[in-house]
Amino acid sequence: MKASALEFRLRFLVHGVIYVLGFTAPWNYLLNKGGVAAGFWSGKAIWLPAALAIERAGWTSLTGAANLLLALGIFFALAGAALRTWGAAYIGSAVVKDGGMHDASALNADQTTAAGVVADGPYRYMRNPLYVGTMLHTLAVTLLMPLSGAVFVVVAIAIEQMRLIGGEEAFLEGNLGERYLEYKRLVPRIVPSLRARVMGSGVRPSWGMAVLGEVYFWGVAVAFASVGMRYNALLVIQGVVVAFGASLVARAFVPRVVAA
């Protein structure tokens, strides 16, 4: 199960379409279940109904349940942003945003590793921190979606991440051969090791550009943390939209991969 080069190039568009479908849940409308009106526009994101279900189960008060879910949303949003930024700092935001697949030769000349494999930062603990970060982020934003949309998004994003991982790893195996296969044998795919599994390859992190490149994910975390206590999903969604707009502006400042 692996993505084609075209699917990889269009991955940001694919993710965007999946998220929009999750928020709007158009199938609800087609099934006469209220459609978009019963989704996030009327405040029926799963966040507060889930809190109400927890209260009715007698586990805690409604406020306590809502705060617990909000804390989970903030945690997943922050964890996703931090993990993606950590990975982008080592692999380079230019590579992260580029439409093509790359090995370490896409780094600046003074950063290129002898083995062609970036094995620094999170890449010493797992092979795909960017994709795991996206999945953590997804768990946060699904709190703002109607139930059917949230289920759809979790499943669709998980499948898309695994397809992208399969496509990228096949590319690296083809380009790097035994060097990547050895790295692959040592480092887990998505479940991080508790200790570094390989020696560092000597790549220096670029934190400022990484934060700029991942500004959308940080913006979503800020939206949850800043307005979440008002228990209004629509306000948080507006923050998500603002974060997306900021990411489009920031994209203009992220350098492009220079062809060899």
Backbone Cα Rg of the chain: 20
* pLDDT class of 30 with cuts at 50, 70, 90: confident
pTM of the model: 0.92
Does the pLDDT value for residue 126 go beyond 50? yes
Mean of pLDDT values over 47-67: 94
What does the DSSP 8-state code read for residue 109? Answer: T
Position 111 scores a pLDDT of 46
- Please give the span between the terminal C-alpha atoms of the chain, in angstroms, as a whole number: 30
The candidate with the shortest Cα–Cα distance to 159, out of 40, 11, 25, 39, is: 11
Position 114 scores a pLDDT of 44
Position 204 scores a pLDDT of 93
pLDDT in tens, 212-255: 999 999 999 999 999 999 999 999 999 999 999 999 999 999 99
Report domain extents, the chain. Answer: 5-251
What angle do helix axes 62-91 and 129-141 make, rounded to 10 degrees? 160
